[in-house]
């Protein structure tokens, strides 16, 4: 049963969803819109407010659908928008081979007979109308009462100032807490780090310093991953980062990178208009897609991009957070190894790293994949040190490794990457895949956090291997 | 970049913080300007910032112990699966991780001339290699050992280099040696088995199955006292195949309760017919007898040759007797007698899953091909019954043969059932379709997929993954 506008209307849970969907019916928001040649599947990627696009798909036969956004409305505005655009202008959708993430979804939906998706039950007293949604979108903004506008702006400024003060107060409390840990002895902190970090993180959350709170909450897990003899040094290093960050915020709370590290990052729309945001064009490869469930109930999705053309190589981090239990699956993100041409816009910072995809121009097919450019075998931590000097509270940065291989420290049991000429060695956080052990690795990319590295990708005799 | 600080000067500071208390007094002189001009509490925090930042910049990781390295994962004789086919392979791999299903998938891959990408699949450390193509022997050894020493691909095992090999590679090399110089292998086993554990002895013994002969008798008789029952039984079986085992007279006498000699229509021919066992304890006795009395002894007891016993056997009389005879042949028939039995079984169209089971270990791929062909054409067996018969015989059957089978008709019936109405029956579809995916040849696979799509099995249904993989995967050019 083909999708038509009536179907879209009947599937929508409410008018608000249609209103939201109509705002998404702009091709610029959809770097990908495709359909199966002579088939029933339609899919697309919608650039929402997150760094990673949402993947949206539906089945024309039975109107089944899926979107990777965390919305609790079914269908969400992205599904409605895609269906709406398809119903309006199917020819605008290119024909493509069904991507793995659509195949996986259809495979899980296995059915032997098509059962149409349920039409949403109408909310009592509410009608749903595409026409009405269009009207909402087309309506010119109502003239603004200047007095009211002034009052709104003043209220916003007051709230912002209050928030700022709350953050400053919580940072003051946090610095006192750090001083207390030193005074009482870090041996005691290391015995009780989970409980102590939990308590102070909760205070930071109350004080609106959410991002910093999350880092503090994750500190125990980071320390526990290290050998005992390294935990003291790591604690001192992390505390020093927190302290430097706190002072940076006090000195300049409006600095975007500092604010993002303490409270919240700039919204996508604001970043797109920010005059100081750097934009880098090129061919980018997804070197890793990392998912971590945090203690605060969020899943942190870190997608690491590496620009392979033009040189010099640089990195970008797409960072998103989703609630646990929201049905989010790691398969919804980019697949490591994907390559595409894009403009990447960086959040303003010294030596920026966190970014969004401003515009995705094309995706490289498997046949057209490009190899990695060669890189100089300078000391592997030089890039980290240069970045860290400019971002002294930074968490982790990718580093390029020259020819080397992975060995094991006997008795300690820890794995290390060592340069082939034995000029450098770096401890690894986790045991690498068995296939890499002993293998010559002409090129590798690792994520270095100041204490240990995590291999993200490596070129091997078996081809380029992505390890996340 | 900041002035580097010798990390050793920070140790006293860290030690004080570890136990608790102010550390400013232990701070390096170079930092006094930043610390002396502020209050004590602020000085501690500044010192913390300086120490932490200096550590990040100045400290270069150094492993205190010399690292040990493995040799890299060995290259196998077949190429690694090309990148474009890996996602489909991983999907099938991830759908069901049962060992025998996994082994069949790996065997299928090898039949097309590929090995799995090691990041998608590596044998695990407990893998003995049974059920896996021989090409994986180097990986099996590599994964199971902490250290691995190089063995030359052309190295021939002998007494000196025996322990330079790890088991799977050694077995592979011994099979080659066996074909070149059959008698050398039992001689090596006689010399080296005393140094090996039961598991190793048991894994090596099947090398003798090829070219079994009188040169093996001394070894096999010596294994009659082996500590391992499995080793003793296998050695006994090989001796029986060579006609070197005499059955217990009491056991031979017992056979009269279950077999009788019948004169054929032509007076010159005779055959042995079963006497159906009447109850469970009788069946058990029959089964036990047939696992200990060699075929040669049965034949001799009735004054016939083993070949006459095989040729005259009527499969349509008693299934339990058939199964018992199969067990007897499995352990004691010579290779030529075994071939003869299989040919007769197929000609008589006796395709019984229980009856064939004891024979499976002795099947070559040729045997499997004949049996499967016979079963597809002439039996009521379902695809699930045939799975264990496939072994290395993958991708051999055109759609024409499969479509004619009763198993295929049954599969289509079940495919037409609404899954929500009868999950018990439709649950069979997954293993059946997996088996069809193994059996059908590449050229015919699309035809079967089309039929199944028309029957309502969606093209994206995971149960079709192996068929689709079969249809898309070419044979490697290596």
Query: Which among B53, B61, B91 has CB closest to A392?
Result: B53
Evaluate whether B137 touches B174 at the Cβ level (below 8 Å): no
* Helix (H) or strand (E) segment spanning residue A59: strand A54-59
Nearest CA in chain A to B22: A183
**In chain A, what residues touch B119 (CB-CB under 8 Å)?**
433, 435, 462, 465, 467
Evaluate whether B313 touches B272 at the Cβ level (below 8 Å): yes
pLDDT the model gives residue B150: 53
pLDDT the model gives residue A115: 43
- CA–CA separation, B111 and B173 (whole Å): 21
Partner-chain contact A237 B56, CB within 8 Å: yes
Is the backbone peptide bond immediately before A312 cis, with ω within 30 degrees of 0? Answer: yes
Both structure tokens of B137: 């022997």
Residues 437-466 on A with a CB inside 8 Å of B are: 437-440, 450, 461-463, 465
Nearest CA in chain B to A415: B67
Q: How many CB atoms lie within 10 A of CB B346?
A: 18
- CA–CA separation, A280 and A344 (whole Å): 5
Evaluate whether B407 touches B435 at the Cβ level (below 8 Å): no
- CA–CA separation, B344 and A261 (whole Å): 79
- Dump pLDDT digits (tens) for A13-61: 999 999 999 999 999 899 999 999 888 999 999 988 888 889 999 999 8
pLDDT the model gives residue B339: 94
Both structure tokens of A282: 């090129």
pLDDT the model gives residue A330: 60
- CA–CA separation, A29 and A268 (whole Å): 12
SS3 A339: strand
pLDDT the model gives residue B147: 42
**In chain A, what residues touch B53 (CB-CB under 8 Å)?**
240, 244, 392
Q: How many residues does chain B have?
A: 478
- CA–CA separation, A256 and B143 (whole Å): 50
Choose the weakest-confidence range: A168-177, A414-423, B143-152, B281-290: B143-152
pLDDT the model gives residue A69: 87
Residues 404-423 on A with a CB inside 8 Å of B are: 405-412, 416, 418
Determine phi and psi for A340, rounding to 5 degrees.
-155, 155
Partner-chain contact A439 B72, CB within 8 Å: yes
**Residue A303: which pLDDT band, with cuts at 50, 70 and 90?**
very high
- Dump pLDDT digits (tens) for B432-468: 999 999 999 999 999 999 999 999 898 889 999 999 9
Both structure tokens of B333: 């028939």
Could you tell me the maximum CA-CA distance found in chain B, to the nearest angstrom? 123
pLDDT the model gives residue A135: 66
pLDDT the model gives residue B267: 62
B357-374 mean pLDDT: 92
- Dump pLDDT digits (tens) for A425-468: 999 999 899 889 878 999 999 999 998 999 999 999 888 999 98
Query: Which among B51, B71, B457 has CB closest to A236?
Result: B51
Query: Which among A110, A411, A465 has CB closest to B119?
Result: A465
Both structure tokens of B478: 């290596």
Say if residue B148's pLDDT is above 70: no
Q: Where are the beta strands (DSSP E) in B332-432?
A: none
**In chain A, what residues touch B417 (CB-CB under 8 Å)?**
112
Partner-chain contact B20 A182, CB within 8 Å: yes
Residues whose CB is less than 8 angstroms from the CB of residue B327 and which lie 6 or more positions away in sequence, other chains included: B287, B290, B291, B358
SS3 B400: helix
Query: Which among B44, B61, B68 has CB closest to A407?
Result: B68
DSSP letter (8 states) at residue B374? H
pLDDT the model gives residue A137: 55
What does pLDDT average to over chain A?
89
pLDDT the model gives residue A136: 58
Say if residue B419's pLDDT is above 50: yes
∠A229-A234-A235 over CA atoms, to 5°? 105
Partner-chain contact A107 B48, CB within 8 Å: no
| Least Cα separation, residue B389 to chain A (angstroms) | 29
Whole-complex ipTM: 0.86
Q: In angstroms, what CA-CA distances link B362 with A8, B330, B356, B440? A: 62, 7, 11, 23
Partner-chain contact A185 B18, CB within 8 Å: yes
Query: Which among A427, A439, A463 has CB closest to B73?
Result: A439
- The model's pTM: 0.85
Residues whose CB is less than 8 angstroms from the CB of residue A440 and which lie 6 or more positions away in sequence, other chains included: A403, A405, A420, A460, A461, B72
Both structure tokens of A309: 């053309």
pLDDT the model gives residue A123: 47
Evaluate whether B129 touches B121 at the Cβ level (below 8 Å): no
State the number of CA atoms in the 13 A half-sphere of B32 facing the CB. 5
B184-189 mean pLDDT: 97
Bridge partners of A304, per DSSP, are A288, A317
């Amino acid at each position: 049963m083909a999708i038509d506008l009536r179907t879209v209307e009947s599937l929508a849970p409410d008018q608000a969803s249609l209103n939201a969907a109509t705002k998404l019916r702009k091709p610029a928001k959809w770097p990908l819109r495709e359909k199966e040649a002579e088939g029933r599947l339609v899919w697309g990627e919608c650039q929402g407010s997150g760094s990673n696009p949402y993947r949206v798909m539906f089945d024309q036969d039975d109107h089944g659908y899926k979107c990777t956004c965390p919305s609790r409305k079914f269908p969400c505005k992205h599904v409605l928008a895609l269906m709406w655009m398809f119903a309006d202008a199917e020819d605008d959708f290119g024909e493509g081979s069904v991507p793995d993430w659509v195949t996986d979804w259809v495979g899980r939906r296995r059915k032997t007979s098509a059962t149409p998706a349920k039409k949403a039950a109408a909310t009592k007293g509410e009608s749903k109308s595409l026409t009405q949604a269009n009207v909402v979108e087309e309506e010119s903004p109502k003239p603004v009462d200047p007095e009211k506008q002034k009052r709104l702006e003043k209220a916003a400024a007051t709230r912002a100032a209050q928030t700022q003060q709350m953050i400053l107060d919580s940072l003051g409390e946090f610095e006192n807490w750090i001083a207390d840990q030193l005074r009482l002895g870090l041996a005691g902190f290391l015995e009780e780090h989970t409980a102590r970090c939990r308590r102070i993180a909760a205070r930071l959350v109350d004080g609106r310093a959410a991002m910093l709170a999350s880092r503090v909450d994750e500190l125990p897990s980071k320390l526990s991953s290290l050998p005992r003899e390294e935990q003291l040094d790591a604690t001192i290093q992390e505390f020093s980062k927190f302290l430097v960050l706190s002072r940076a915020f006090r000195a300049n709370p409006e600095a975007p990178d500092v604010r993002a590290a303490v409270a919240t990052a700039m919204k996508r729309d604001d970043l797109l208009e920010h005059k100081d945001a750097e934009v880098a064009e090129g061919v980018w490869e997804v070197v890793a897609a990392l998912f971590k469930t945090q203690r605060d109930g969020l899943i942190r999705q870190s997608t690491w991009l590496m620009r392979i053309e033009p040189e010099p190589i640089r990195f970008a981090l797409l960072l998103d957070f989703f609630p646990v239990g929201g049905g989010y699956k790691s398969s919804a993100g980019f697949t490591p190894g994907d390559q595409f041409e894009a403009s990447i816009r960086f959040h303003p910072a010294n030596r920026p790293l966190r970014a969004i995809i401003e515009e995705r121009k094309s995706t490289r097919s498997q046949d057209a994949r490009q190899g990695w450019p060669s890189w100089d075998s300078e000391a592997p931590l030089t890039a980290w040190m240069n970045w860290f000097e400019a971002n002294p509270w930074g968490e982790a940065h990718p580093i390029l490794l020259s020819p080397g291989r992975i060995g094991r420290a006997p008795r300690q049991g820890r794995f290390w990457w060592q340069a082939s000429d034995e000029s450098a060695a770096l401890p690894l956080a986790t045991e690498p895949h068995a296939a890499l052990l002993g293998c010559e690795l002409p090129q590798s990319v690792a994520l270095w956090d100041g204490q240990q590295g995590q291999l993200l990708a490596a070129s091997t005799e078996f081809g380029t291997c992505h390890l996340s | 970049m900041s002035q580097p600080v010798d990390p050793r000067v920070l140790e006293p500071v860290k030690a004080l913080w570890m136990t608790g208390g102010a550390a400013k007094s232990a701070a390096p002189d170079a930092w006094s300007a930043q610390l002396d001009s502020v209050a004590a509490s602020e000085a501690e925090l500044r010192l913390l910032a300086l120490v932490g930042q200096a550590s990040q910049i100045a400290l270069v990781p150094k492993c205190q112990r010399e690292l040990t390295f493995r040799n890299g994962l060995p290259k196998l004789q077949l190429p690694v699966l090309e990148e474009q086919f890996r996602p489909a392979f991983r999907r099938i791999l991830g759908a069901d991780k049962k060992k025998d299903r996994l082994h069949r998938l790996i065997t299928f891959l090898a039949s097309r001339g590929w090995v799995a990408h090691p990041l998608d699949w590596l044998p695990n450390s407990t893998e003995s290699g049974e059920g896996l193509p021989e090409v994986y022997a180097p990986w099996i050894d590599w994964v199971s050992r902490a250290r691995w020493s190089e063995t030359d691909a052309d190295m021939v095992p002998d007494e000196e280099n025996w322990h330079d090999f790890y088991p799977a590679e050694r077995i592979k090399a011994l099979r080659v040696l066996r074909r070149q110089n059959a008698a050398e292998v039992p001689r090596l086993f006689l010399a080296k088995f005393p140094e090996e554990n039961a598991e190793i002895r048991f894994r090596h013994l099947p090398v003798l199955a090829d070219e079994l002969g009188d040169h093996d008798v001394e070894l096999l008789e010596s294994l009659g006292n082996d500590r391992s029952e499995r080793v003793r039984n296998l050695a006994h079986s090989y001796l029986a195949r060579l006609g070197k085992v005499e059955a217990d007279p009491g056991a031979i006498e017992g056979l009269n309760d279950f077999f009788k000699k019948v004169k054929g229509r032509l007076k010159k021919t005779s055959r042995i017919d079963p006497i159906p066992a009447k109850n469970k304890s009788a069946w058990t006795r029959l089964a036990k007898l047939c696992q200990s009395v060699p075929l040669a002894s049965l034949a001799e007891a009735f004054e016939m040759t083993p070949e006459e016993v095989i040729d005259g056997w009527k499969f349509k009389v008693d299934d339990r007797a058939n199964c018992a005879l199969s067990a007897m042949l499995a352990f004691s028939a010579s290779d030529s007698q075994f071939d003869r039995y299989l040919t007769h079984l197929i000609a008589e169209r006796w395709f019984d899953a229980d009856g064939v089971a004891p024979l499976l270990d002795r099947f070559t791929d040729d045997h499997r091909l004949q049996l499967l062909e016979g079963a597809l054409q002439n039996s009521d067996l379902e695809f699930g019954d045939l799975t264990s018969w496939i072994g290395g015989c993958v991708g051999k059957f055109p759609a024409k043969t499969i479509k004619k089978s009763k198993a295929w008709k049954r599969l289509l019936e079940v495919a037409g059932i609404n899954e929500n109405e009868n999950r018990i029956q439709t649950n069979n579809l997954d293993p059946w379709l997996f088996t069809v995916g193994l059996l059908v040849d590449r050229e015919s696979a699309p035809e079967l997929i089309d039929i199944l799509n028309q029957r309502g099995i969606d093209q994206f249904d995971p149960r079709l993954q192996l068929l689709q993989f079969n249809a898309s995967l070419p044979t490697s050019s290596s």
